[in-house]
Amino acid sequence: MSLRPILILPDTRLRLTSAPVSGVDDDIRALLDDMLETMYDAPGIGLAAIQVGVAKRVIVVDVAKREGEEEEDVKEPIFLVNPEVVKASEELSVYEEGCLSIPEYYAEVERPERVRVRYLDRLGAMQEMDADGIMATCLQHEIDHLNGVLFIDHISRLKRERVIKKFEKEARRR
Ligand code: GNR
Ligand code: NI
């Protein structure tokens, strides 16, 4: 297992459409393990493969509560290959989102409150999961990444252009 560097806005690879995975083999499992380690290290609650420069339809999430210090080690990782939203509620909800590829910027995004997601697990078996709350938000945020979509695409154009300009300026300084 190893940590991989996370791509930061305005890296153009974040706008790629990731390709479906043809089968879950040991290489994909190694990628999933590196992604999980990278996500926990960041720390974050989700990560898409394109955020470490790999344009494959692979995500990891762990939204387990970590309120007390004692619960720091409670890990509930979920590995999703070729995830798709097969059903979304009409009811919407608003969450304050952030993204490891847009560090230290947060904004409210409105999305379906509940989703059903179909995916392959780390053994390649087809699964379906119903999610709500932060899990539903996180899954939609990650699946967006697979389509080159960032959470700032769901906010006002004024705010989006402002944050993109800020990160372009940062990138020029580095
Ligand atoms: O760590 C993350 N937190 C988060 C908070 C609200 C909504 C979505 C997320 S996902 C984000 C990690 C990330 O960038 N995943 O792509
Ligand atoms: Ni993100």
Query: Considering the domain boundaries, does residue 89 fall inside one?
Result: yes
Residue 96's beta-bridge partner residues? 108
The three-state secondary structure class of 33 is: helix
What pLDDT score was predicted for residue 66?
A: 56
Catalytic member of 70, 142, 168, 170: 142
> Is 172 strand, coil or helix?
helix
List, in sequence order, every residue forming a beta bridge with 126; answer none if it has no partner. Answer: 120
Euclidean distance between CA atoms 78 and 139, whole angstroms? 11
Rounded Cα–Cα distance for residues 67 and 85 (Å): 29
Instruction: Tell me, yes or no, whether 1 lies in a domain.
Output: no
Q: What is the pLDDT of residue 11?
A: 98
**6 falls within a domain:** no
Mean pLDDT across 62-77 = 75
Is the pLDDT at 150 greater than 60? The verdict is yes
State the CATH number of the domain containing residue 94: 3.90.45.10
**Which residue from 100, 104, 105 has its CB within 8 A of the most atoms of ligand 1, so it is best to mutate?**
100
At residue 31, the 3 state secondary structure works out as: helix
pLDDT value of residue 68: 52
CA of 140 to the centre of ligand 2 (A): 10
- What's the 173 CA to ligand 2 centre distance in angstroms? 23
Residue 113: active-site member: no
What is the SS3 assignment for 137? Answer: helix
Q: Per-residue pLDDT for 1 more than 90? A: no
Pocket probe mutation, ligand 1, options 6, 61, 99, 147, max atoms within 8 Å of Cβ: 99
Residue 165 lies in a domain: yes
In a domain, 134, yes or no: yes
Distance 160 CA to ligand 2 centre (A): 15
Nearest atom of ligand 1 to the alpha carbon of 100:
14
Indicate the pLDDT class of residue 73, thresholds 50, 70 and 90. Answer: confident
Q: How many domains does the chain have?
A: 1
pTM for the whole thing? Answer: 0.96
Q: pLDDT tens across 110-137, in order?
A: 999 999 999 999 999 999 999 999 999 9
Domain that holds residue 132: 12-173
Domain assignment present for residue 7? The answer is: no
Q: Show the ligand 1 pocket: residues with CB < 6 angstroms.
A: 44-48, 51, 95, 97-101, 137-138, 141-142, 145
With respect to residue 138, please indicate whether it lies within any of the assigned structural domains: yes
142 within some domain: yes
